[in-house]
Amino acid sequence: MSGYYEEITKLATSVHQHGALNNAFYERWLTAPLPFDELAIFAKNYFVRTSQTSTMIALSLLHTDNLCARVEIAKNLYSEYGYGHPQKAHIHLLENFLTDLLSRVAVAYRPVTKLSDELILPSTRQFVEEQQALYSQRPVDGGCQRILGTLLAQEWLAFSMLTRLYEGVRHYQHLYASNDEFHEHCEYFYIHIGNAEKDHKIQAIHAATLECRNDDEFAALADGFYDFMTITEQYWNGIAHAMKHGPNDIQALSKPWA
């Protein structure tokens, strides 16, 4: 480990004071269940964002030179893909959960992937584009450290994000036949809250520390970290605004299915 372990850990824990976790979306989500139109906006935009997660982790691996750092990132990526079991891949679990929840609220079985693309918000498209740009920086001029700073922010936000999302999901517990049925459908959250995101947080700190050897590299790492925090805050605020006022194309809500 480099001498920047404490500084990187302090940077990571700063997520709890940032607007990426303290924003209008979570206030709305945690207060009460959403009507179907608002739930559809959340589901479509969260799925679009999350479907890119594994690709971004893979990009961070490709742009990292240190072997031990690559091993830490590879552990993260292997976890995202269900440790080699496609049915346990995190994106597959999320798709199943959102599809089931939407069908209970709307009393109609449709997969979340069939929600109209008109529900994808400009702020979500911007997040996806800027996230990819952050993970695609060239190694020169601190690109590696910026990428690992981005990954650090992503993983340290993820645990708190998922605990908040799970608490909001509990508002829909009455839609399930029993307490057991509800928990059986929440596997996506339990995998992350129980082990995955705790491990990913540690792995992200280790990877960042292994590639941080001087003040310039730490500054580049912090730049990537704060850039990701900023676009995440904008992403959630975009969803909150759309839930309150409707997406730019209001017709998307009258015909939510593609």
How would residue 247 be classed by pLDDT, with cut points 50, 70 and 90? low
Q: What percent of the chain is modeled with pLDDT above 70?
A: 91
How would residue 80 be classed by pLDDT, with cut points 50, 70 and 90? confident
Q: Residue 254: pLDDT above 50?
A: no
Prediction pTM value:
0.89
Q: Identify whether the C-beta of residue 20 lies closer than 8 Å to the C-beta of residue 157.
A: yes
Q: Identify whether the C-beta of residue 40 lies closer than 8 Å to the C-beta of residue 102.
A: yes
d(CA 174, CA 7): 45
Q: 83: exposed, middle or buried (C-beta count within 10 Å: 0-12, 13-18, 19+)?
A: exposed
pLDDT for 121 equals 97
Q: At what angle do helices 122-135 and 143-169 cross, to 10 degrees?
A: 140
Residue 199 or 15, more confident: 15
Q: Identify whether the C-beta of residue 205 lies closer than 8 Å to the C-beta of residue 12.
A: yes
Q: Residue 197: pLDDT above 90?
A: no
C-alpha 249 chain-centroid distance: 25
Mean pLDDT, all residues of the chain: 89
Q: Does domain 5-32+41-245 have CATH number 1.20.910.10?
A: yes
pLDDT for 67 equals 85
Q: Identify whether the C-beta of residue 151 lies closer than 8 Å to the C-beta of residue 57.
A: yes
Token pair in block for residue 237: 């605020």
Q: What residues contact 38, with CB distance under 8 A and at least 6 apart?
A: 28, 243
What mean pLDDT is predicted for residues 86-98? 93
d(CA 152, CA 207): 9
Residue 219 β-bridge partners? none
d(CA 253, CA 258): 11
Reported as a single tens digit per residue, the pLDDT across 36-68 is 999 999 999 999 999 998 888 888 888 777 788
